[in-house]
Amino acid sequence: MSLAVTADALRTLHRLHRQLADLRDQLAAGPRRIAARTQQLRAAEAGHAAALDGIKKAKLAADQKQLQLRSAEAKILDLEGKLNACKTNREYQTLRDQIAADRMATKVLEDEILEGLERVDAVKKELPPAESAIAAARKLLAETKAEVDGETARLEAESVRVGRDLAAAEAELPADSRELYQRTVKSKGADGMAAVDGTSCGGCFQQLTGNMLAELAMGRVVHCRGCGCLLYLPR
């Protein structure tokens, strides 16, 4: 076994581990994109439901005012019917005043009913945009799902390929460094290896000792005392 094998092997392994980690990140991004689009659709649906509710409430309010108007009008008719039965002028005048006051009240109600109907028309205008927002959100969600499905298939195939390369590269590791490598990768994954950067660890930038650099130059496996990375010399 040549001394350069370890550095070359670690360099390759580090690259493959980073590729795998990157592929896993990209795979994980797919469901997050779908979740975000689903969230947008839910928000659009909530907006639509709120618009429907607004229409319902506005109609109900206008209907109630109309009922009040009808009962007020019935009351006025009733009072008018009683005018002839008045026995004194004073009684007659009191009744006339009451009827006049009630008529004023019905005018106010009529205005309120008009306003209520205008309000119904206004809230009805909120419905078409809310429906369009749902349709747009549905379309985006479907497009994102299709994109993610395609991407996932590609990324999974790529992961299988890199995984095979990784297994092949691991098989080439010198037997005496394999255990340390496996232990480090198990706990730190792709971050378990770092290239030496000048005279520092490329992972945590801790200064390496002269002794460590000498061992690295001899092709030994050295791990950083700062971050625990397996170190290798850059090409």
Q: Do residues 149 and 27 touch, judged by C-beta distance below 8 A?
A: no
- The one-letter code for the residue type at 117 is L
The 190-209 site mask, x for binding Zn ion (CB under 5 A), equals -----------x-xx-----
The 154-193 site mask, x for binding Zn ion (CB under 5 A), equals ----------------------------------------
Give, as ranges, the residues between 61 and 80 that touch Zn ion (CB under 5 A). Answer: none
Nearer to Zn ion, 132 or 187 (CB): 187
Q: How far is CA 7 from the centre of its chain?
A: 43
CB 211 to Zn ion: min, Å? 16
Biggest CA pair distance of the chain: 129
The 3-state DSSP composition of the chain as helix, strand, coil percent (nearest 5) reads: 80, 5, 15
Give the Cα separation of 96 and 94 in Å (integer): 5
- 3-class DSSP assignment, residue 206: coil
CB 179 to Zn ion: min, Å? 20
Give, as ranges, the residues between 209 and 228 that touch Zn ion (CB under 5 A). Answer: 224, 226-227
CB 226 to Zn ion: min, Å? 4
Q: How many residues line the site for Zn ion (CB under 5 A)?
A: 7
Q: At residue 228, what are phi and psi to the nearest 5 degrees?
A: 80, 5
CB 207 to Zn ion: min, Å? 10
Answer yes or no whether residue 52 interacts with Zn ion by CB under 5 A.
no
- Residue matched to tokens 């994980």: 28
Contact residues toward Zn ion (CB under 5 A) are 201, 203-204, 224, 226-227, 229
